[in-house]
Structure 1
Amino acid sequence: MDDTQSTKPDFAGPFTSVPVEITVSVGRARPLVRDLIGLGENAILTLDKRVEDPVELFVGDQLVARGQLEELEGDQDGRLAVRLIEIVTVPDGKE
């Protein structure tokens, strides 16, 4: 059994096969418009995170988890993945 299968909750129902898009955020930048306009090829945009900092996983605009980026090996060599390190508790009734 691989890591993705080991801690799956046992849910049943018609919505379990609906795909959900997850956005992974590695950081944010807040440049001034004048600086943004001046960006060109090979420009560097500094983010508010370090390489070793956790990434954030969002469904829509809701933060749902944090994780560490990893590079896959084998037949998926070079592809990125996220190892979950924290599941964020969403308060009931929050929209």
Structure 2
Amino acid sequence: MLPTVAAAQDSRAAYLRMFDSNGDGRVSESEYVSWMSRGFATMDSNGDGILERSELPGGRGKPVTLHEFQDNLRRQFHRLDRNHDGYLSARELTAPPR
């Protein structure tokens, strides 16, 4: 059974609420970076602020600092912000990457 449009919109709104720390119904760059940086903290098992090769998925790649990780998140945010208003709507947040 396919989900209804209302259910899809509801799940988008619920996803947005996870990021939206101030409850204004949209996601700022700082909210996006803050929420997405949680993944870095989870992977950084020794807490040194650097994802070493052994901490990266698949154990491959060059080490990544928190600053580099967050710079990448900022670039992602701006690619998702398709109307360039400095915020992500639920639709922008859940849109497939380009």
TM class by shorter chain equals: under 0.3
Tell me which of the two structures has the higher relative contact order, counting C-alpha pairs closer than 8 angstroms and 6 or more residues apart.
Answer: 2
TM-score, normalised to structure 2's length? 0.20
TM-score, normalised to structure 1's length? 0.21
Rg larger for: 1
Structure with higher strand content: 1
Structure with higher helix content: 2
